[in-house]
Structures are given as structure tokens and as C-alpha cells.
Amino acid sequence: MVGNSLYQTLRTRWRGVRRFLRNVPHLGTERLCPVCGWGSRRFREFRHHPNPEAMCVHCGALERHRFVWLYFHARTDLFDGRPKRVLHVAPELCFIERLKNGLGASYLTADLANKHAMIKMDITAIQFPDASFDAIYCSHVLEHVPDDRRAMREFHRVLKPGGWAILLVPITVQGATFEDPTVVDPAERLRLFGQEDHVRRYGPDYVDRLREAGFAVAETNVVDMFSDDEARRLGITHCAGAIHHCRKS
């Protein structure tokens, strides 16, 4: 028992040392992550992300997370102090504790499989009654969902009148959204849709799908909020994509 406890302690400390050594090349203040508030010399690359400075070395926030975090504060009433029930689908680790601390007991996380979520939820059949939530945040999920239009209608249904949803997806084609429900092979999905578990590539007509579900949609791009110098320091490029702010009238 003592040996196992010592092993766990040493393992935890070794992880901390490795994390510190990994971050040494990034020490500095040229970049600023608005999610965690920490500075760094530069951000870190992330898998196949086209931005070589996609991820914060401290909290793991990607550039789309940094963008939407600033959008929450500047363009929504999320943190105005008034009570509101908020649904966070597929919760990102860099946000969970921060949103929980900022929103309190009215904050709910949900996912179909993520163990970090509070409840299990299929967004094409949400188990809550109409007009249950003041706000919904769902990022990079709909491209995984075969019936995305049904999910959009469900989000609209469970929002209160006047409520809003931030529904982010990667827009990766210039023309119409491309999908083929007959493609189920992961390798073929990777080739066609860019990832093994994606079922489509969204185009600018994504906005039309949201409007068909009943939403009034406002689109905000990086250039709408930041100067070139601000965006560079925040590590936010056009690769962060657009923010689609959907309101239920």
C-alpha cells in the first residue's frame, strides 16, 4: 500500500517535471491566452491543425476556444451575473471548471460518451422539455452527427424564447456542404470529410441549415473583433473559423 502510494506520488511529480521541461521553449510573454490568462513565447502546434500556434501550452485551449471565450465576454450576456440555465455539449476541459465557477449550479454539461460530462445526451433526442435553457454552447459536434438538422431543431426546441446558442462547426469547403450517408468506412470518411468520424464537410450554407431550424443567425469572423496585432498576440487566425450566434425569437 505504501509502495503504491509512493509510486503514484513519484509518477505525479515526474509528470510535472516533464510538463515543465516541455514548456521551457515556450516561456515568454509574446502571446497571451485569454482563457487561462497565462503568457508564453508562442503557442504550440496541435495535430494536423493548419495554425502552427494552435494550442495554449498552459491550459490546452485551441485558437477556436480562445476566440469564443472572448466572444462570450464581449458579445453575449453569459457572464452578466443574472441567473441563466446553460447547456454545454461535448465540454472542453479548458472550459469546464471556468464555466462551472462562473455560472454555478445552473451550468450543465452533456455528451453521448465523454466521461467528463454531467449527463449522457443524444442531441438528436434531447431529454429536456421545451424552453429549458437560456443558452447553449456546442462546438465541433454537428459534423459528427448523421442527422444534424434534427439536432439543430432540438437545440431550438429546448431554448427559451429569446435564448441563444453558439453552434460552431468547421467550414472546410467553399461551395455547398458535402455529405454522403452511404460512406461508413473510416478511411473513406478521412479521405472525403477530413476525419474518420466526420460525416460531412460544411460550406457557407451551414447558416441556411440553422435558419431552417428556426434560428436568427449572426456570423462573426476574427477580423470583426481583432486587429492584426491583437489576433497575432492571441494566436487567433482565420483557421479559428466563424462564430455562429443563433437566437430563438
pLDDT, one tens digit per residue, over 203-224 is: 999 999 999 999 999 999 999 9
CATH for 230: 3.40.50.150
Q: What is the DSSP letter of 224?
A: G
**pLDDT tens readout for residues 97-156:** 999 999 999 999 999 999 889 999 999 999 999 999 999 999 999 999 999 999 999 999
- Range(s) of the domain holding residue 182: 62-247
Measure the CA–CA gap between 211 and 218, rounded to whole angstroms: 10
Measure the CA–CA gap between 82 and 216, rounded to whole angstroms: 23
What is the count of structural domains for the chain?
Answer: 1
Assess if residue 109 is contained within a domain: yes
Give which of 95, 94, 93 is closest to 78, Cα–Cα.
95
CB atoms within 10 A of CB 183: 15
**pLDDT tens readout for residues 31-72:** 999 999 999 999 999 988 889 999 999 999 999 999 999 999
Assess if residue 42 is contained within a domain: no
Assess if residue 107 is contained within a domain: yes
Q: What is the DSSP letter of 146?
A: T
CB atoms within 10 A of CB 186: 12
Name the pTM for this structure: 0.89
Assess if residue 56 is contained within a domain: no
pLDDT at 233: 97
Assess if residue 116 is contained within a domain: yes
Assess if residue 147 is contained within a domain: yes
Which H or E element spans position 245? strand 243-247
Contact 65, 235 (CB under 8 A): no
